[in-house]
């Protein structure tokens, strides 16, 4: 008896999973008689590639989050009558060598898997197809498939605004209807044993796991917060963002589910520019823009700047300054608080991602690839497309990037978006008794300690916080001179 296989990758969910639904449909249609499908008709696969993950700098906290969701997935599949095979193969090339024998051993007639936009993943899949293996790669990682949002010349947009306009036109004409979890294909299986990855992990316990939890967060955000998102999204002390990115990154929830929930609350959001949901939906469009770019321009997956002139920038790459940035001790409280949030939680507020990326690449003139890699090694929501896109935007090397001469002033960002310094004081507790003015306007000195007027003499003796690592006006002028090579 020939079987069907569903190969899970970055789609660790049962709901709105087209690959899963097509696998079930194929298994049922393949039967030559109306007998009931048995438990061997459909099987599932997840491959743990720890060495590939290490080379891709996947964060230990994200690996832990993935492991938790693979366990949840295995239990959910068991209720549908499907066994999940979890196989450890270090590299993607090992998958290519191993797959033919696995399919033969398990008598697999057809495989269904979700397409992935990253180049190593696409190369792996192309090698599998060249072997003649019966695999259908299903396009569902975006709401609108890569290659379908093009300009009048049939080319991928290189500017976000016209891309987003076209994307909204296309999505407005689509039926945004997420797929339900398919009905069981066979009798339920016993609860599977615990799955443990042989990999370095860091606890992700601050983030609840499960499709149900992700859907609850989404529904709560759309019913309570989305209408004020455009007003509050830039303030890190407020709980005003959806915090769905960890779930989207590994496919616990789909972008289509997110859009459907937003449209359920604000049906006009794709066609009415005054809709309260427009700003958040625009974030979904940014996600798709960067994923489409990965497919259209494979060099982005190879640590190359979109603007080729970016590869000749003379970065300073001072290791000590980079370490200070990583550890949250630059002497700029808003930067340090953001980096400590990242290091402690595996997540950072989006406004602050722009602030710290601009600071590293422009104030310190450290190669954006250093920052991108450090983020990837820490983030629970690590995603190559979004991470690469965000870093190249900040550095001025990317597609539709921030101009090289625009240098975020961290002091203005601090006073504007954390006016009472509540976020800063939470992550930089040594400043809990500092004056607001001096938190937002740190004075550059050549000492290793903060400016004299921040604390009383008695307080100063017990506080260890550095002077700003570089003076803003000097850094801005230097950055503009060095990065002027990016002029197009």
- The predicted structure's pLDDT at residue 260: 98
Model confidence pLDDT, tens digit, residues 206-263: 999 999 999 999 999 999 999 999 999 999 999 999 999 999 999 999 999 999 999 9
Please say if 412 is a catalytic residue: no
Please say if 315 is a catalytic residue: yes
Q: Structure tokens of 296? A: 């259209």
The residues with which 84 forms a beta bridge, in sequence order, are 44
- Residue 399 to residues 55, 63, 353, 355, Cα–Cα distance (Å): 25, 29, 18, 19
Please say if 350 is a catalytic residue: yes
Please say if 280 is a catalytic residue: no
- The predicted structure's pLDDT at residue 488: 60
Other beta carbons within 10 angstroms of residue 241's beta carbon come to 21
Model confidence pLDDT, tens digit, residues 369-386: 999 999 999 999 999 999
- The predicted structure's pLDDT at residue 36: 52
- The predicted structure's pLDDT at residue 450: 40
- The predicted structure's pLDDT at residue 460: 43
CA 278 to chain centre: 20
- The predicted structure's pLDDT at residue 38: 59
Q: Structure tokens of 310? A: 């970016």
For the residues 348-354, what does the mean pLDDT come to? 97
- The predicted structure's pLDDT at residue 458: 42
pLDDT band at 487 (very low <50, low <70, confident <90, very high): confident
- The predicted structure's pLDDT at residue 371: 98
Catalytic residue among 53, 286, 347, 370: 286
For the residues 118-141, what does the mean pLDDT come to? 97
Helix, strand, coil percentages (3-state) for the chain, rounded to 5, are 50, 5, 45
Whole-number Å distance between alpha carbons of 328 and 326: 6
**Percentage of the chain surpassing pLDDT 90?**
90
C-alpha angle 399-302-406 in degrees, rounded to nearest 5 = 30
pLDDT at 183 over 80: yes
- The predicted structure's pLDDT at residue 304: 94
* Helical ranges in 233-277 per DSSP H: 245-249, 255-265
Please say if 391 is a catalytic residue: yes
* Helical ranges in 175-242 per DSSP H: 211-224, 229-232
pLDDT at 272 over 90: yes
Side-by-side strand order, sheet with 3-8: 83-88, 42-48, 3-8, 108-114, 135-138
- Residue 217 to residues 132, 223, 275, 469, Cα–Cα distance (Å): 42, 10, 21, 39
Catalytic residue among 213, 283, 430, 471: 283
Catalytic residue among 207, 280, 391, 393: 391
Model confidence pLDDT, tens digit, residues 10-51: 999 999 999 999 999 999 987 654 445 555 699 999 999 999
Are 222 and 184 contacting, i.e. CB atoms less than 8 angstroms apart?
no
Catalytic residue among 39, 343, 350, 409: 350
For the residues 135-155, what does the mean pLDDT come to? 96
Please say if 286 is a catalytic residue: yes
Instruction: Please give the mean pLDDT across all residues of the chain.
Output: 93
pLDDT at 198 over 80: yes
Whole-number Å distance between alpha carbons of 359 and 215: 35
pLDDT at 357 over 80: yes
- The predicted structure's pLDDT at residue 37: 52
Helices (runs of H) and strands (runs of E) counted in the chain: 21, 5
Model confidence pLDDT, tens digit, residues 431-470: 999 999 999 999 877 654 444 444 434 444 456 899 999 9
pLDDT at 193 over 50: yes
Query: Does this model's pTM top 0.75?
Result: yes
406 or 402: which carries more pLDDT confidence? 406
Catalytic residue among 315, 318, 343, 471: 315
């Amino acid at each position: 008896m020939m079987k069907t296989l569903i190969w899970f990758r970055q789609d660790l969910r049962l709901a709105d999973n087209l690959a899963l639904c097509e696998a079930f449909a194929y298994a049922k249609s393949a039967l030559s008689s109306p007998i009931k499908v048995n438990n061997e008709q459909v099987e599932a696969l997840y491959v743990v590639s720890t060495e590939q993950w290490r080379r891709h700098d996947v964060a230990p906290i994200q690996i832990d989050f993935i492991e938790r969701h693979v366990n949840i997935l295995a239990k959910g599949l068991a209720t549908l009558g499907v066994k999940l095979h979890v196989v450890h193969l270090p590299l993607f090339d090992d998958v290519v060598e191993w797959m033919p024998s696995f399919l033969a051993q398990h008598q697999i007639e057809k495989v269904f898997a979700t397409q992935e936009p990253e180049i190593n993943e696409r190369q792996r899949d192309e090698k599998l197809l060249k072997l003649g293996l019966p695999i259908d790669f299903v396009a569902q990682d975006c709401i609108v498939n890569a290659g379908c949002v093009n300009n009048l010349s049939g080319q991928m947009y290189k500017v976000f605004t016209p891309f987003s306009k076209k994307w909204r036109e296309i999505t407005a004409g689509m039926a945004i209807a997420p797929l339900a979890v398919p009905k069981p294909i066979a009798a339920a299986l016993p609860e599977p044993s615990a799955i443990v990855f042989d990999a370095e992990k860091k606890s992700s316990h601050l983030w609840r796991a499960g499709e149900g939890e992700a859907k609850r967060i989404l529904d709560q955000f759309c019913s309570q917060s989305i209408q004020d998102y455009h007003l509050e999204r830039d303030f890190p002390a407020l709980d005003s963002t959806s915090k769905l990115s960890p779930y989207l990154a590994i496919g616990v929830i789909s972008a289509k589910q997110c859009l459907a929930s937003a449209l359920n609350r604000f049906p006009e959001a794709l066609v009415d520019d005054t809709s309260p949901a427009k700003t958040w939906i625009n974030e979904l469009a940014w996600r798709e823009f960067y994923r489409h770019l990965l497919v259209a321009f494979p060099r982005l997956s190879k640590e190359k700047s979109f603007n080729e002139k970016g590869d000749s920038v003379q970065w300073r790459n001072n290791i000590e300054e980079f370490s200070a940035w990583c550890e949250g001790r630059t002497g700029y409280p808003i930067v340090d608080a953001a980096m400590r949030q990242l290091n402690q939680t595996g997540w950072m507020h989006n406004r602050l991602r722009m602030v710290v990326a601009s600071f590293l690449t422009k104030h310190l003139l450290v190669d954006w690839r250093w920052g991108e890699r450090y983020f990837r090694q820490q983030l629970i929501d690590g995603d190559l497309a979004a991470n690469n896109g965000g870093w190249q935007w900040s550095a001025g090397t990317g597609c539709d990037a921030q101009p090289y001469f625009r240098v975020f002033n961290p002091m203005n960002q601090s006073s504007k978006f954390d006016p009472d310094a509540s976020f800063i004081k939470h992550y930089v507790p040594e400043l809990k008794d500092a004056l607001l003015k001096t938190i937002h306007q740190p004075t550059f000195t050549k000492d290793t300690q903060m400016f004299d007027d921040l604390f009383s003499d008695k307080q100063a003796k017990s506080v260890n916080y550095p002077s700003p690592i570089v003076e803003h006006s000097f850094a801005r002028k230097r950055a503009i001179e060095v990065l002027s090579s990016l002029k197009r």
